[in-house]
Amino acid sequence: MDAYDLITRNASEVVTEDEVRALAEDPDGKRAYVGYEPSGVLHIGHMLTANKLIDLQEAGFEIVVLLADVHAYLNGKGTFEEIRQTADRMKEQFIAYGLDESQTEFVLGSDYQMDDDYVLDLHALELQTTLSRAERAMAEIKSGESVTVAQAVYPIMQALDIVYLDVDLAIGGMEQRKVHMLARDTLPSIDEDAPTCVHTPLIADLSTGIGKMSSSSGVSLSMEDSPEDIEEKVNDAFCPPTANPEPTDEGEERENPVLQIFEYHIFPRFERVVVERPDEYGGNLEYDDYESLEADLESGELHPLDAKGALAGYLDELIAPGREKINA
Ligand code: IYR
């Protein structure tokens, strides 16, 4: 796979196409980053951007993982001490999950975000940014109901991180896109280049297919799940025999989370997917790409229960190394 395909595969959006093409021409020495608020445990949402980082390592990028401790604090995720401890554990888990440690720079936000220069630049950006713009940028990231002053400072700091970590490419889930757009609009005011961005899709809630899978509500899969937990959650998952389920009676959009996980988690990490079936049910099915698995589910050749059984097995292979780190 060439650099352009590695950068863009499974992305929901790239900003801009031309900028990505330019980066793909010579990725060596270019820097890409994702930031994570250390809170809770690594879950499947984190793993989606981690898969993109693994793609980018393969394309030759230098990878920076920001353990955004100050951001987690600003977003009300606990005491600074607790957040720091979670950051250490998160780093171990990312490495266990497959990020090559020798090619990855792990940075704590607090290592540079309290420096005089950073704080003064932050104030310069605060002068350029209206409160309503900051609030809009945070709409899909903030925890709790009301927007605090801390949460308005948060996206401006995230924009500035791009400058201080000297990155060419910012990666994030689709919920980060408004922060990245804010960065693209405001960084030129302090004489910085606008970052190129790649946004990964959001996986729907496992049990309903509605909204976005999150560790704070609904059913999500985490690095702490035992093989039995995974099996139970996947078996109970929403999986109609189609990639485009009908909206609910209330008009809420739905996705097929089982297919999404095959597409965004399993196929990027395994060359071939085998769905084991006893001979009397037609024997094993083998897939080299996501599209043929989707087609078989839609045609009825692949039963949702067999798809779920295979999914649970592959997910466990991805999750096991991180789980062992936690239990060690
Ligand atoms: N907003 C992210 C955390 C984060 C990401 C980046 I990229 C930063 O520079 C800083 C923080 C989240 O929602 O987890």
How many CA within 13 A on the CB side of residue 285?
22
How much is the pLDDT for 74?
97
List residues forming the annotated binding site for ATP.
215
Mean pLDDT of the chain: 94
The tens digit of pLDDT for each residue in 283-318 reads 999 999 999 999 999 999 999 999 999 999 999 999
Pocket flag, ligand 1, residue 141 (CB < 6 Å): yes
The tens digit of pLDDT for each residue in 212-262 reads 887 667 788 988 899 999 999 999 999 999 999 999 999 999 999 999 999
Q: Which pTM was predicted?
A: 0.92
How much is the pLDDT for 219?
80
Q: Residue 60 CA to chain centroid, in angstroms?
A: 20
Relative to the CA of 158, which ligand 1 atom is closest? 9
Q: Which parts of the chain register pLDDT below 70?
A: 215-216
| 61 C-beta neighbours (distance < 10 Å), count | 26
Contact of 190 with 120, CB cutoff 8 Å? no
Closest CA to 302 of 240, 220, 224, 256: 240
How much is the pLDDT for 321?
84
Contact of 3 with 27, CB cutoff 8 Å? yes
Pocket flag, ligand 1, residue 36 (CB < 6 Å): yes
Relative to the CA of 37, which ligand 1 atom is closest? 14
**DSSP structural state of residue 217:** S
> Does the ipTM surpass 0.85?
yes
Please give the Cα distance from 153 to 151 (Å, whole number): 5
Pocket flag, ligand 1, residue 66 (CB < 6 Å): yes
Residue type present at position 104: T
How much is the pLDDT for 45?
80
Angle between helices 131-138 and 149-164 (to 10 degrees): 80
Contacts of 255 (CB under 8 A, 6+ apart): 203, 204, 209, 245
- The residue whose CA is least distant from atom 10 of ligand 1 is 158
Q: Which of 43, 110, 112, 158 to mutate to test the pocket of ligand 1 (most atoms within 8 A of CB)?
A: 158
Greatest Cα pair distance in the chain: 70
